[in-house]
Structure 1
Amino acid sequence: MTLPSSLTGESAVLRLAFDGPLAVLTLHSPPMNLFDEAMWDAWADAVTWLASHPPRALLVRSEGRVVSAGVDVRVFAGLDPKDAEAFWRSRLAITRTLEALPCPTVFAAHSLTLTAAFELALACDLVVATPQARFGLVERKVAFTPAMGGTQRLAERVGPARARELVMTGDLYRGSVLADWGLVNALFPPDSFDTDAHAYAMRLATGPTRAHEATKNVVRRYLDGGVSAADAALPALAAAVAATADHGRAVTAFLADGPEHTTEYQGR
């Protein structure tokens, strides 16, 4: 598989690499990993490529002192209001494409994670962080509102009152607080964060890939249409998983060796 040139090499602000079944997408635009045109272009390339070449899991991480200080404010200064709708529609499309990937996706936040980066974290299935990491949608500082889907995804995860609180105050919230709210799924210590986050994502990448895809599908059906919509879709989804090689091999191994069997899933 040939990767887009925008995602490889020393000059790439967003780098895509693989560790076996796990895709690793790394923000690498020091010192602040700002979202400017180059970063957004790279993200558009990345999610488009991943949608066409789905890995078994995706880990989003960053290099440097911060995850991202958010949108480069010069973007706002240079944006003609008549072009704003198309501009933000294309940025929201990045969020939606990331969210729609069929594989498990994990966002790893070791430190400051603002605006666009936080919105992309909310498009991932799972978020891991250090207790000290700080998250914020601080668009109010430029009299703006999150435009990559963060507000509604916050409301989906932590409720509308909390979503309004984060966006309207523009305050920063620690990873430990967001873990209490259920937004952050796991907390890891700073000293071992990269290793722990990678292991967390690798566990998903080496799991029953097709079953994970079905789980994502069921949750999405529920979020879009409630329990009845998920119920309507579930029998067909379960039947498709029942036909997979991983399911058949795991059932055989369970019967032979018990629940602690060591079957290696192949993602098929």
Structure 2
Amino acid sequence: MEYKNLLIENDNGIVTLTINRPQALNSLNSETLTELGCALYQLEYDPAAKVIILTGAGEKAFVAGADIKEMSEMSAYEGHQFGRKGQNVMLAMGKMRTPLIAVVNGFALGGGLELALGCDFIYASAKAKLGFPEVTLGIMPGFGGTQNLPRLIGPNKANELIFTGKVITADKALAWGIANEVFPPEELMARAKETAAAIAGVGLLGVAYAKDAIANGLNMTKEDGFRYEASLFGVLFATADQKEGMGAFVEKRKAAFTGK
């Protein structure tokens, strides 16, 4: 499928998925959200896609937010449907077995920060700016921000960021636990690809099951989470990757995982 607003490049299993609307600071309109949903579905079932790096075109923005021009004319019903469209993309990202790394190279505001939070973790440029300015427009985050951010950093800091609409620096995002690492702009993508390569080189079934255990365990009691972890742990012992990984360790050689 050809995409109007996305670029997809696969380099030895590391897929760079770029929101490509630099003239609009990569803002998310309905068309782009539809394309994102399709692209993520395509990549989830592509055996050649081992890790996805999600970023924005140009140097100014990762994604500067949802498309305000489009939203400004929406009715209550249309706003609800637009919010659900964005939420469906975020929910799909959370359910993907393929790891997702957000590379925030500039503004990540509103829907852009929500998109980054939908990934498994965030690497940011030292020049990045992050925030939820929706309240300054008379609305609120609608693509899952009120749910994902408090789960990540706790309700107090999330409340401050969402209620004030303020935009924070990459360093503050790092200190608050929103970003995992902050790098100089010229090093950002290379460092993200280093991490992606490290992930791509391990047993990806193990990574996928670990992602599942973490995501679902957050919604369980600790005891139920332990049971769920044990069930997935056990299933992995029936895989070729487990036999290969442990066999390679015993034989003191590099494992050749197949994802099976």
User: Do the structures match in fold with TM over 0.5?
Assistant: yes
1:119-130 correspondence runs (5 A)? 119-130=114-125
Cα offset for 1:37? 2.6
Q: 1: distance between equivalents of 2:53 and 2:181?
A: 14
Q: Does 1:5 align with 2:5?
A: no
Q: 2: distance between equivalents of 1:62 and 1:83?
A: 26
1:49-128 correspondence runs (5 A)? 49-53=42-46, 55-65=49-59, 66-128=61-123
One-letter amino acid of the counterpart of residue 150, structure 1: G
- Equivalent residue for 1:183, pick from 178, 182, 192: 178
Q: 2: distance between equivalents of 1:138 and 1:38?
A: 22
Cα offset for 1:52? 4.0
SS at structure 2 position matched to 1:108: strand
> Hey, what does 1:225 align to over in structure 2?
220
Q: Does 1:200 align with 2:195?
A: yes
SS at structure 1 position matched to 2:140: coil
> Hey, what does 1:29 align to over in structure 2?
21
Q: What's the TM-score, normalizing by structure 1?
A: 0.89
Q: 2: distance between equivalents of 1:184 and 1:82?
A: 34
Cα offset for 1:86? 2.4
> Hey, what does 1:9 align to over in structure 2?
none
Instruction: Encode CA deviations 1:72-121: one digit per residue, 9 max, x unaligned.
Output: 21122221223322232122111101111012111011221111111011
> Would the aligned equivalents of 1:139 and 1:146 in 2 still touch at CA under 8 Å?
yes
> Hey, what does 1:16 align to over in structure 2?
8
Cα offset for 1:49? 2.3
> Would the aligned equivalents of 2:33 and 2:85 in 1 still touch at CA under 8 Å?
no
> Would the aligned equivalents of 1:131 and 1:189 in 2 still touch at CA under 8 Å?
yes
> Would the aligned equivalents of 1:130 and 1:187 in 2 still touch at CA under 8 Å?
yes
Identity of aligned residues (%): 23
> Would the aligned equivalents of 2:241 and 2:258 in 1 still touch at CA under 8 Å?
yes
One-letter amino acid of the counterpart of residue 2, structure 2: S
> Would the aligned equivalents of 1:206 and 1:266 in 2 still touch at CA under 8 Å?
no
SS at structure 2 position matched to 1:187: strand
Cα offset for 1:233? 1.2
Return closer, same or farther for 1:179/1:128 CA change in 2, 3 Å cut-off. same
Cα offset for 1:140? 1.1
> Would the aligned equivalents of 1:15 and 1:26 in 2 still touch at CA under 8 Å?
yes
> Hey, what does 1:42 align to over in structure 2?
35
Instruction: Encode CA deviations 1:159-182: one digit per residue, 9 max, x unaligned.
Output: 001111111111111222222222
12-21 or 119-128, which moves further after superposition?
Answer: 12-21
> Would the aligned equivalents of 1:152 and 1:163 in 2 still touch at CA under 8 Å?
no
Q: 2: distance between equivalents of 1:266 and 1:96?
A: 27
